[in-house]
Amino acid sequence: MTDDIRSEILLHVNGRTHRLSVDNRRTLLDALREGMGHTGPKKGCDRGQCGACTVLLDGRRVVSCLTLAVAADGAEVTTVEGLADDGELRPLQQAFIQLDGFQCGYCTPGQLCSAIGMLAEHAAGWPSAVTADISPDGPAPELDAGEVRERMSGNLCRCGAYPSIVRAVLETASREEVTR
Amino acid sequence: MKEFAYHRPSQIREALTMVVGNEGAQYLGGGTNLVDLMKDGVEMPTRLVDVRHLPLDGVRAAPGGGLVIGATTTNSDAAAHPEVRRRYPALSQAVLAGASGQLRNMATVGGNLLQRTRCAYYADPSQPCNKRSPGSGCSAITGEHHNHAVLGWSDHCVATHPSDMAVALAAFDAVVRYETLDGTHEIPLSEFYLPVGATPQHETVLPSGALITAVSLPKSAVSPRSQYRKVRERASYAFANVSIAAALDVHEGTVRSARIALGGVASCPWRARVAESVLQDGAATADKFRAAADAELSAAKPLRDNGYKVTLARNLIEAVLTELAARTK
């Protein structure tokens, strides 16, 4: 067994495959931003506390600043750049624009990726810390402002755009339920 | 960050041979704590062995009627699992009360048990800390310690264990299963964490290089009637000041069985066995619940700035038991 400090990895980012040689210390966030030009994910705290670097890893939201690139070898990564469908913004992205879901915009890529992941978790029936009845036999938890705030608490917004972010997420959720 | 090698074994024995006998080798789970500590220079592994591709994922029924949660099951999957929610609801609630959605998607059950304290002195290599640098002293005893221990601490360390999940596991008599090159071993969670004593750097009984493979929950008549409650300094995404996992079985006004564990008060999840014995076969009344809490907390030794935790713990025990009693009548 050789103890190499670098690794050859494959990352599938927004549908495109990248072959990279990385220092094992490289985080997924740095690999995306510095190595592949995906500057959508932002480096806020670099400690997993702010959520600005949130991406979807194999469909689930994670913080890319605490994910080692080498540990993501072979994974599907979706960044904010990959959310739009052939140039057409997603309903969530449109709702953020229409309802002023941001001010400076720095946290927005993380907010968007987190909300996409969160809505999928909710659709799968996952309860949250504010769900009154977590029994799997009862009705699925209804998404209201309290649920959205709890489920999105891993994404900080220094501008304090939270009320509009909550509205944008709820607006998207209700629309998706109509079309489902 | 110091340079390190990375390995991704697919078999447990292969993983063990990569870590046992190699001082600089560590297992990597979700990395939510370890990678953070590596960035701070608190942890400096020279080899990381990624355990997430080992066959240790998922929740399954145990032969005796309990549940077995694989060590690499994410916190999210453990909390969302129907059988966990149905039979051990306080465990699901405890996991959901911890961290954020993103971190729960990454963090593993095994890693959750082994996460390190969030004492700020521990995370700062420029400060004395007996847990990080044995013999250097404890900065928190006379320093910033408003969220430190009130039970079971020593003059060498007053840090708390940060896990929510482990508090519920303690209440449910969970058993930790681990693997060494000698085979499979099991130890009750109640014996898993070592008392602080003079060696706070030694936190668990796990032998060097051992790999946690699962946590098992014994079948329990009382666990479906359980609840987790956490008090923290903001509404979400913060470590506990005090938390409680409790289960209560009341029959005709009498306590048939009670399980209580506290978080945020000690170096490990604090199983409140004194309170449980006061409650056993007694009246299920608020007075009795308060007396049980007082009996447990008579051992508390608050520091200069955290006496509020004793009051908070007492109130939480009374409030949660009262709610559980109302539900089970």
The 10s digit of each residue's pLDDT in A59-70 is 999 999 999 999
User: From the candidates B10, B40, B100, which should be mutated to test the interface with A, based on the most A CB atoms within 10 A?
Assistant: B100
- Which position has the token pair 């999940």? B165
Average pLDDT over residues A112-131: 97
Q: What is the tens place of the pLDDT at every residue in A33-55?
A: 998 999 999 999 999 999 999 99
User: Chain A residue closest to B224 (CA)?
Assistant: A135
Q: How confident is the model at residue A85, as a pLDDT?
A: 86
CATH 2.60.40.10 fits A6-82, yes or no: no
Chain A residues in contact with B102 by the CB 8 A cut-off are 48, 51, 54, 61-63, 114, 117, 154
Would you say the C-alpha torsion B137, B138, B141, B142 has a positive or negative sign? positive
Angstrom CA distances, B190 to B89, B95, B205, B224, B225, stand at: 20, 19, 11, 20, 21
Is the predicted pLDDT of residue A178 greater than 60, yes or no?
no
- Compute the nearest-CA separation of B92 from chain A (Å): 8
**For chains A and B, what is the number of CB pairs under 8 angstroms?**
120
User: Chain A residue closest to B53 (CA)?
Assistant: A71
- Compute the nearest-CA separation of A37 from chain B (Å): 23
Burial of B60 (0-12, 13-18, 19+ CB in 10 A): exposed
Is the predicted pLDDT of residue A24 greater than 90, yes or no?
yes
Mind listing the domains of chain B with CATH numbers?
5-50 (3.30.43), 226-328 (3.30.390.50)
Chain A residues in contact with B85 by the CB 8 A cut-off are 127, 134-136
Q: Given pLDDT bands bounded at 50, 70 and 90, which one contains residue A140?
A: confident
Assess B53–A contact: CB distance below 8 Å, yes or no: no
Nearest CB among A5, A114, A134 relative to B4 is that of A5
User: Which residues of chain B fall short of a pLDDT of 70?
Assistant: 329
Q: How far apart are CA B329 and CA B317, in angstroms?
A: 18
Chain B residues in contact with A61 by the CB 8 A cut-off are 101-102, 105
Domain positions in chain A are 6-82, 91-179
- Which position has the token pair 């048939």? B256
Q: How far apart are CA A32 and CA B265, in angstroms?
A: 41
Q: Given pLDDT bands bounded at 50, 70 and 90, which one contains residue A180?
A: very low
Is the predicted pLDDT of residue A179 greater than 50, yes or no?
no
- Which position has the token pair 């699901």? B92
Q: How far apart are CA B41 and CA B26, in angstroms?
A: 15
Q: How confident is the model at residue B329, as a pLDDT?
A: 56
Average pLDDT over residues A55-80: 98
Angstrom CA distances, B80 to A67, B85, B95, B129, B138, stand at: 23, 7, 9, 37, 39
Is the predicted pLDDT of residue A97 greater than 70, yes or no?
yes
Nearest CB among A67, A125, A150 relative to B236 is that of A150
Question: Which CATH homologous superfamily contains domain A91-179?
Answer: [2Fe-2S]-binding domain (1.10.150.120)
Q: Given pLDDT bands bounded at 50, 70 and 90, which one contains residue A138?
A: confident
- Compute the nearest-CA separation of B301 from chain A (Å): 31
Q: Given pLDDT bands bounded at 50, 70 and 90, which one contains residue A177?
A: low
Chain B residues in contact with A46 by the CB 8 A cut-off are 39
Query: Cα A123 vs. chain centroid, distance in angstroms?
Result: 16
Query: Cα B243 vs. chain centroid, distance in angstroms?
Result: 11
H, E, C per residue of B110-124: HHHHHCCCCCCCCCC
- DSSP state string for A48-92: SSS-TTEEEETTEEEETTSSBTGGGTT-EEE-GGGTSBTTBPPHH
Tell if the CB–CB gap between A135 and B89 is shorter than 8 Å.
yes
Chain A residues in contact with B236 by the CB 8 A cut-off are 129, 149-150, 153
User: Chain A residue closest to B22 (CA)?
Assistant: A3
- Compute the nearest-CA separation of A73 from chain B (Å): 10
